[in-house]
Structures are given as structure tokens and as C-alpha cells.
Structure 1
Amino acid sequence: MTVRQIRLYGDPVLRTPCAPIETIDEGVRALVEDLLDTVKLPGRAGVAAPQIGVGVRAFSYNVDERVGYVLNPRIVEVRGEAVPTGEGCLSVPDLWHDALRHPYARVEGIDLDGQKVVLEGEGLFAQMLQHETDHLDGVVYLQRLPKEERAVAMRRVRESAWF
């Protein structure tokens, strides 16, 4: 359908926990199409619904030739100690910092038919699952940074041309 514009840090939708999807209707189907179209652009690993201005629990992903979506995802398992992992965000352009992420993650949700979906992986896929689920909880990756690094990141945000 449409590649949607990404909302930038400072937009309240990015800091608001998302509502679960109660009914799968044509609006939700259109949202999924837009999420998939938006994540397919080069350099994008995931796009959460709030990043395109919609406050519901859904995200799309595009990692290592795995492209898809999930509705009402929740992290049900992480493994390994959280370690600093280089990370960026479409909603915080031009910044790259080490956020604490677990090396393995498992997410459960549903698809457009209401069927259970299980997504799991290691490395970049695990990082994406944690990052996108954070978005649905109103958390931007900057909040995962150690205090000193977060202060540096926030200064760079305030000094950026897009903020």
C-alpha cells in the first residue's frame, strides 16, 4: 500500500505504550501492508506501528532475508546476559550507541488470521525483536543506554537538525 513516514524522537506516540489489537479488520490489514512496505526500504531491520504514528501492538521486520510482521507481540524468553550491542533507530536518525541486549530472544504474537506466531533468533534478529517490542511498550533504545552514554546521546539529539 504505502511507505509511511517515520516519526522522530520527541513525538509523544513513541513514548506511549501501545494498545493491543482486539479486532483484525481492514484497518489492521492495511496497517500490516504499510508496515511491510515501510520496512522493505534498504537499511531497515524493523518498523513498529508507533514509528508510523499508530499506537497499536504490531511491527514488521526485515532481517537476513526474513521479512514479516507480528501482531500483539510479547517477549516470552531471553537468554544470555545482556551485553552492549551497537544499535540505531529510524526514529533517532544519525545516532549509533551500544544498548544492552540479550543475545537470544523469543516473541509470541498472532498473524492476520489470529493464528499464533513465534519468532525467535540470535544476534541481529534477537536485537530487532527486543528493539521493536520496546517501541510497543513506549521505550526508545536511548533509554537502554548507560547513564553517561545516554547523556551524550541526548545532547546529540538536542543538537541535531531534525529535533
Structure 2
Amino acid sequence: MRDGASQAPGVRVQGERVGSYPRLAPEAGRGSVRRITVVGEEILSRRSQPVTEFGTPGLSRLVDDMFTTLYVAEGAGLAANQVDVDLRLFVWDCADEWGVRHVGHIANPVLDELPAAERRLLDEGEGCLSVPGPSRTVPRPDHAVVRGFDLNGDPLVIEGFGYFARCLQHETEHLQGRLYLDRLDRRERKGALREMAASRDDVFARRAERAKTLGG
């Protein structure tokens, strides 16, 4: 998901509040930049495979690379299939409307079905790193709870409100083979794709410049 919120004091890492945190997640210092897949690539349109092996160097390296790639692309969240890896995993560094920055990763995420009384639908702008350039208004609930596992296979429950809830839903849907474009009508989708075609080269150029200072 493309970043759309300002960064502010207060940080939750893996859902737990921490006293202080660096500007970039420590994982980014260990990672390398990967190519971000673009709408039309097959891996983005099918359900990703579950993570079955936890605590491995390969999984840790993937998370490191995903954080580095997220920052290069100036995003708020990034799913594994967006770096061409067929696994149910995503990372986030996302600030919400109440001044809390949320940072973390989750494997095999599943969204809870929340009662209607615990959520309301918000029509707000949404973009995607795999749809470089455009954003569109997409209705989503303002409250989300996602359950999964951390890198070591320990159970994890992450709750979000407002923009962070949108991020959690957006990234979980990526791993189900859906983009925000799939929530648009045909006319809106075509318009977004035309806008992407016109802007993608500039977006890619900005990413290339940032990659020179973040992970190479």
C-alpha cells in the first residue's frame, strides 16, 4: 500500500507499544531492494501459499528485504507477492490518524469478521505500490483485526483503526490475489490504468534514486 498518512509520535511494533524507535525499522539496514511487481503480473492475481517453515534465515532475509523495498518505494505496507515471492506474508510501517506509528510483519494473516456495530465504512483514497501513480476512493471498514504468526511462528494479533485498518485489509487482500483496482467499476479501473501508464516511469525513477541510499 502506498503511504498516505503522516508520521507522528507513539510507536507500536508487532502491536506492542515501545518507548522509542528509529526512523527506519532495523530490518531495513540489513536488507536489499527487490523489484516490485506491477498489476498484470500473474503472481498478483492468485492466492499466495502459506508460510510453513518459520525461524529460517531465508524468511528473515525476506522480511529485511521487504522493509528496505517498502522504504525505497515510500510505502505504508508491502506484501510478499509484490516482491515476486509466493508466500502469505506482509510488512508495514504505517502511521494512523491519532499519531501512532505501527511497524511490523505478519505471516499467514486472516482478517476477523467483525460485527457491524464495531466498524463503520469509510470512503477514502487508496493507492498501491504495484499500481504506480494513481489512487482512488475505496470504501473499507475503519476497524480491522488480523491474526497470524511472526517470523518464529508465534501467534500474533494486530488491531488497527482508520488508515492502519485500511492498510491491514489492503495487504491481506494482496495475499488473496486481489488489488484495490478489483474494487473499482470498469470505468474507474480503466482510468486508473491509464493514469498509471502515464506516471509509472517517473515513479520508477524516484524509487531508483532512493535505492541508491537505501540498500542499493
Alignment TM-score, normalising by the size of structure 2 = 0.69
Q: Does 1:27 align with 2:55?
A: no
The 5 A counterparts of 1:65-144 are: 65-78=101-114, 79-144=118-183
Distance of 1:48 and 1:17 partners within structure 2: 12
Name the count of aligned residue pairs. Answer: 162
Cα deviation, 1:22-61, whole Å, max 9, x if unaligned, reads 1122221211111222223473100100000001000000
Unaligned runs of 5+ in 2: 1-30, 96-100, 202-216
Residue 58 of structure 1: which of 89, 103, 106 is its match?
89
Stretch moving more, 54-63 or 35-44: 35-44
Partner of 1:9: 39
Distance of 2:181 and 2:84 partners within structure 1: 19
SS of the aligned residue for 2:37 comes to coil
Larger Rg: 2
Distance of 1:34 and 1:60 partners within structure 2: 10
Any conservation in 2 of the 1:16–1:55 contact (CA below 8 Å)? no
Residue 78 of structure 2: which of 34, 47, 52 is its match?
47
Alpha-carbon RMSD across the aligned residues, in angstroms, is: 1.9
Amino acid at match of 1:61: W
Instruction: After the TM superposition, list the runs of 4 or more consecutive aligned residues in structure 1 that deviate by more than 6 angstroms.
Output: none
How many percent identity over aligned positions? 38
SS of the aligned residue for 1:10 comes to coil
Stretch moving more, 64-73 or 46-55: 64-73
Any conservation in 2 of the 1:77–1:107 contact (CA below 8 Å)? no
Cα deviation, 1:51-89, whole Å, max 9, x if unaligned, reads 000010000000123221111111114442433220111
Closer, same or farther in 2 for the Cα pair 1:40/1:161, shift >3 Å? closer
Distance of 1:89 and 1:151 partners within structure 2: 15
Alignment TM-score, normalising by the size of structure 1 = 0.89
Amino acid at match of 1:102: P
Amino acid at match of 2:88: R
Distance of 1:35 and 1:11 partners within structure 2: 18
